[in-house]
Structure 1
Amino acid sequence: MFMEERKAKILEILESKNRVKVNELTEKLNVSESTIRRDLQDLEQEGLLKRTHGGAVKAENTGFEPTMAEKEEVYQEEKREIGKKAGELIQDNETIILDAGTTTLQIAKNIKAKNVTVLTNSMLIALELSKNKDVEVVVTGGYTRRETLSLVGPLTDQMLQRFKADKAFIGTNGITLQDGCTTPNMHEAHTKGIMIQSAKEVYIVADHSKFGKVCFSLIAKLDQIDAIITDKNIDRGIVEKFVQHGVEIICE
């Protein structure tokens, strides 16, 4: 069976049952696990499926957005790992923008620097940082999105435009070389874009599952960011492709 035929068969199987395991595909298609994993990686990069531990699931539509509670339940260890790495990049006396999200919430929990000012549109991050005596918190105005417990809209954007931070840490729902960083909601995307414009250094924070995924609204092209912070479970082939295109990946 040729590679394209094999990939088409994988998508056909996914269409019928929504989820599939690598060992199941090796049996059905009579190829090695390494071959199947390469096929799944290629299909994920094309946005046709989403890899999971040991298999793959159907790609979500570009407008789908899980709730904050749903996000908190997945890739918890990876998000804690990213939060620790990002926290180490924050230095004494810096001003920081923290986007709303479960991964950026982990950054808030890992700020060890002194005399830090954090500007955020997240109610959960503001609450978390209220416990840290070494951090001054500035919360944007705006209207509340129940799905993400974030503040967005014209008031939020106006507030953000009045500041220039040292670093911004921005979450994303999808990252590809072709489409950059994307998210399902256009209001969230716009606010994230303003945050990027309001910082000297910009870091995208995203666990490995976000790579190869494309959502409805563009946050930023990859040439607008300084680096992507992800977890150690990211496929090394993906890292190499991004590095070849001049994108720094922090994953160690």
Structure 2
Amino acid sequence: MFAEERKAKILEILNTSYRIQVNDLTEALQVSESTIRRDLQDLEQEGLLKRTHGGAVKLENTSFEPTMNEKELTNIEEKIEIGKKAAAFIEDNDTVILDAGTTTLQIAKNIQARNVTVLTNSMLIALELLNNKEVEVIIAGGYARREIVSIVGPITDKIIQSLRVDKAFIGTNGITIEDGCTTPNVDEAHTKSIMIQSAKEIYIVADHSKFGTVSFARIARLDEIDGIITDEEIDQNILEKYQSKNIQIIYT
């Protein structure tokens, strides 16, 4: 297969799966990792994709947001790891906010603490926690976003503003030192920021692919949070850069 044919195939795969990994491409195209990495570098220089640690993602604008189904198919193992790590921060008798998202859903699945109260704007998280007799669930009502199965808007914000919790676990679409935590939807960003204002301790939960990405609406500056819980695939250079700025990175 010639280089141009190979690159066209890479873009075809990326168009259907949103995210690709180098090891999957080497198997699919029967070439070496170094060849795939050169192809990805060439395609990035042409503005056709964005390289990530271990692969690449579609090059989208700041308003792009994948659907819940698309999110559920990406970095599944990493999200499970993050969910277990974050759930360990929840202690007996805690009051907790769980933001809507696929990573926070993994936190809900792994709560081991007793007599916990969870406030959430996620219908999926609420349904999951109904199976846990040690957790009392409060759902913040409001406008339902079909794309990612979350509840946002003025009614949601008013409910969250009236409560105070011990800990909040917030998802994000992008993280940079300069722009902080960002997400494509303005209403989503505002609800997340209200959650942050209502908690004593704030943790961002995000897999390694979110680092270096900027979306349309800011959720919070990094000095407004207590830590970022991510997975062990985070690039060492990124880790050192954030640690040099006294930003706590908790990785599994």
* TM-score category, normalised to shorter length: 0.7 to 0.9
- What is the SS of the residue equivalent to 1:193? helix
Q: Which residue does 1:23 correspond to in 2?
A: 34
Residues 142-161 of structure 1: matches in 2 within 5 Å? 142-161=142-161
Query: Which AA in structure 2 matches 1:72?
Result: E
1:212 pairs with 2:223: no
TM-score (norm. length: structure 1)? 0.83
8 A contact 1:50–1:59 mirrored in 2: no
- What is the SS of the residue equivalent to 1:204? strand
Q: Deviations over 1:67-98 (max 9, x none)?
A: 10110011010000000000000000000000
The farther-off stretch of 139-148 and 16-25 is 16-25
- What is the SS of the residue equivalent to 2:88? helix
RMSD: 2.3
Q: Which residue does 1:225 correspond to in 2?
A: 225
8 A contact 2:153–2:191 mirrored in 1: yes
- What is the SS of the residue equivalent to 1:202? strand
Paired-residue identity, %: 62
Query: How many angstroms apart in 1 are the aligned matches of 2:85 and 2:249?
Result: 12
- What is the SS of the residue equivalent to 1:223? helix
Quickly say closer, same or farther: Cα 1:28–1:142, change in 2 above 3 A.
closer
Unaligned stretches of 5+ residues in structure 1: 1-12, 30-35
Quickly say closer, same or farther: Cα 1:155–1:201, change in 2 above 3 A.
same
Quickly say closer, same or farther: Cα 1:168–1:26, change in 2 above 3 A.
closer
Q: Deviations over 1:28-65 (max 9, x none)?
A: 79xxxxxx7xxx8xx9xxxx824153x33443210001
Q: Deviations over 1:93-151 (max 9, x none)?
A: 00000000000000000100000000000000000000000000000010100011111
Quickly say closer, same or farther: Cα 1:50–1:192, change in 2 above 3 A.
farther
Unaligned stretches of 5+ residues in structure 2: 1-6, 15-19, 23-32
After the TM superposition, which parts of structure 1 deviate over 6 Å for at least 4 consecutive aligned residues?
Answer: none
The number of equivalent residue pairs is: 223
